[in-house]
Chain A
Amino acid sequence: MFIIMLFLGLIISIQVKAIELNKQKTESAKSDIAYYTNLLNIEKEYTVKTTAELEVLREKKNELLEKALIDSGYTTMFETLQKINRIAGFTEVSGTGVKVILDDQLVDDPRYPALTSAIHDSDIRQVVDIMRSGGAIAIAVNGERVVSTSELTCNGPTVQINKRKYPVPYVITCVGDPVKISTLLSNDYYLNGRILSNIDFKMELSDSITIPAFSDYDKINQYIDALKGDKVS
């Protein structure tokens, strides 16, 4: 009897101690999370702020260049430069267009396994390719401008474009003929099959879509350094 009582006492004291210890641990983890979340928010604010400032600087640079070139009589040269930049995807483009949103639709239903109802890189590629076929003049995936070197590949739970990784949902926007492009999209055999296997597909026609400039427009050396024997023609 005595031994049992001793044991009982021991357990109670361990329990009390364990509870206290856990409380401490959880609290320290909580405060760590709060600390890093705060740091992350500061960094995010910086990103938003600097991106906006960069945009302002960029406009200023273009104005200065325009003025300098035109003042010096290089008007044609300036126009050529603008045209090249537009084809390269270094300028923002606005106009009528289509917006497609692709998302996972994971439900606890054996008819729709996660493998088929999750979005894959091939789904995004299909939408982008249809937009190209429909004559879109500018396309973006999650705000990343699709340019000549843009890859769309699967990278774990994310999809990589322009060397950056994005999770779901995927917002694919384009400037072009909204009726033509949306018709092609809604009649596509592959996409309709995917909708049947339960992916979340939304499409909007829009009067004003803005496609941003290529995010690496001022760092393109890394994209052309293998093209050594180039000739300007």
Chain B
Amino acid sequence: MKRSRNLLGSISLLIVCVVLGVLVSLQLKSVNSAQNLQLNANKRLEEIQNELIQQTRINRDLADRYAELKNYVETVENQTFEADDAFQRIMEEKRNAEIFAGLTEVSGSGVVITILAGTDFFVRDSDLRSVVNELRAAGAQAISVNEERMVATSEIREAGPYIVINGKQFPSNAQFEIKGIARAEDLERAMLMVSGIGEQLELYNIEFEIVKSEKVTIPRLREDSPAYRYDMIK
């Protein structure tokens, strides 16, 4: 009798312990998964908040532009056109657009990069394009390659032993000179940064030289370059 009571006690103890174990593990698991859920929700929330901040910034910018343009349109509407500042504004706009489009010669502080050709290798179009893109990324406001002004549609492409830029051929075993106007230090840093374009050129054994200058002059787009011709098509 005593033995069977002991047995009963042990069995119930066993059951209780099993239940206890299962409960503890359930508890741990639920805490874990709740934490994960919470983390995910927080991450999503953060993403949405970031997006919201960006969108608000865009909208503030849009609102400014809208107000400015509306003001401008009202000025033009209410003024007689002759001899007033509306005309001045048009002239200034025209000038700015011309500078931006690359239709004027410009100068400012910047860099002159010379890509030295060797006798046993050719400069590739992709090397030149990488340098131009790097200068753009570093904030260059005007760029030329061998005195060819880089505009929106300017191509740099290989054609046999030549590289064609703005429709003009340059032998690819000759020296190339790339000029950029912006803060000279920014441009130099962009060229020389670790695992940047400079290292990439060195990897292909292409020698180059960077000279910073207070006054770099970049010519206007040639009148006979493709960008002008395409302008025939509206």
In the complex with contacts A15-B30, A230-B106, A69-B52 CB distance below 8 A = no
In the complex, identify which listed stretch (B19-27, B111-119, B169-177, B203-211) lies at the interface while the others stay far away.
B19-27
A-B contact pairs, 26 of them (CB 8 A): A4-B20, A8-B19, A12-B23, A18-B30, A26-B37, A29-B42, A44-B55, A47-B59, A50-B62, A51-B62, A54-B65, A71-B81, A81-B94, A84-B98, A132-B156, A132-B157, A135-B155, A136-B153, A139-B152, A146-B152, A151-B136, A220-B96, A223-B100, A229-B107, A229-B108, A232-B95
Q: Which residues of A contact B63 (CB under 8 A)?
A: 50
Known: A1-B13, A29-B41, A135-B230. A227 touches B106 (CB 8 A): yes
Interface residue from B26, B45, B156, B182 paired with A33 (Cβ < 8 Å): B45
Query: Interface residue tally of chain B, by bracket?
Result: 35 or more
Contact between chains at A29 and B105 (CB < 8 Å) = no
- Contact in complex: A218, B68 (CB < 8 Å): yes
Closest 3 CB pairs of A and B: A88-B101, A29-B41, A229-B107
Given A226-B141, A229-B108, A129 and B23 touching (CB < 8 A)? no
Residues facing B in A130-147 (CB within 8 A) are 132-133, 135-139, 145-147
- B32-47 near A? 1/0 per residue, CB < 8 Å: 0010011001101100
Q: Is A196 an interface position by the 8 A CB rule?
A: no
B residues adjacent to A (C-beta < 8 A): 9, 13, 16-17, 19-20, 23-24, 26-27, 30-31, 34, 37-38, 41-42, 44-45, 48-49, 51-52, 55-56, 58-59, 62-63, 65-66, 68-70, 72-73, 76-77, 81-82, 86, 90, 93-110, 129, 133, 136-137, 140-143, 150-157, 181-183, 215, 217, 220-221, 226-228, 230-231, 233-234
Q: Is the CB of A149 within 8 A of B103?
A: no
Give A68-85 interface residues, CB cut-off 8 Å to B: 68-69, 71-72, 80-81, 83-85
With a CB–CB cut-off of 8 A, which chain A residues contact B86? 68
Is B106 a contact partner of A86 (Cβ separation < 8 A)? Answer: no
A137 touches B55 (CB 8 A): no
Distance A65 CA – B58 CA, assembled complex (angstroms) = 28
Q: What CA separation (Å) do A53 and B48 show in the bound complex?
A: 26
- Chain B CB count within 10 A is highest, among A30, A36, A83, for A36
A40 touches B48 (CB 8 A): yes
Task: Judge whether A231 and B62 touch: CB under 8 Å.
Answer: no
Residue A178 at the chain B interface, CB threshold 8 Å: no
B76→A61 contact, CB < 8 A: yes
Q: A232 to B97, alpha carbons, bound, how many Å?
A: 11
Minimum C-beta distance from B45 to chain A (A): 5
Q: Determine chain A's interface SS by DSSP, over half rule.
A: helix
Judging by beta carbons under 8 Å apart, are A50 and B66 in contact?
Answer: yes
Across the interface, which residues of B come within 8 angstroms of A132, CB to CB?
A: 153-157
Interface presence of A32 (CB below 8 A): yes
- Distance in angstroms from B159 CB to nearest chain A CB is 9
Judge whether A36 and B69 touch: CB under 8 Å. no
Q: Is the C-beta of A186 less than 8 angstroms from some C-beta in chain B?
A: no
Segment 54-104 of A: residues with Cβ below 8 Å from B: 54, 57-58, 60-61, 64-65, 68-69, 71-72, 80-81, 83-90, 95
Further pairs besides A43-B52, A95-B233, A148-B142: 18, Cβ < 8 Å:
A1-B13, A7-B20, A11-B24, A15-B27, A18-B34, A25-B38, A30-B41, A57-B70, A68-B86, A85-B97, A87-B221, A132-B156, A133-B157, A151-B137, A220-B97, A220-B100, A226-B181, A229-B106
Q: List the B side residues contacting A50 at CB < 8 Å.
A: 59, 62-63, 66
Q: Which of A18, A29, A85, A152 contacts B27 (CB 8 A)?
A: A18
A8, B20: Cβ atoms closer than 8 Å: yes
Task: Please name all residues of chain B whose beta carbon is closer than 8 Å to the beta carbon of A232 when the two chains form the complex.
Answer: 95, 98, 104
A181-199 contacts to B (CB < 8 Å): none
User: Does any Cβ of B come within 8 Å of A39's Cβ?
Assistant: yes
B95 smallest CB distance to A (angstroms): 6
What's the Cα separation between A51 and B228 when bound, in Å?
Answer: 30
Q: Name the distance in Å between B165's Cβ and chain A's nearest Cβ.
A: 10
Give the distance in Å from the alpha carbon of A139 to the alpha carbon of B151 in the complex.
Answer: 12
Pairwise interchain contact B141-A68, C-beta atoms closer than 8 A: no
Contacts of B152 on A, CB cut-off 8 Å?
87, 89, 138-139, 145-148, 150
- Distance of A64 Cα from B73 Cα, bound (Å): 8
Residues of B within 8 A of A151 (CB): 133, 136-137
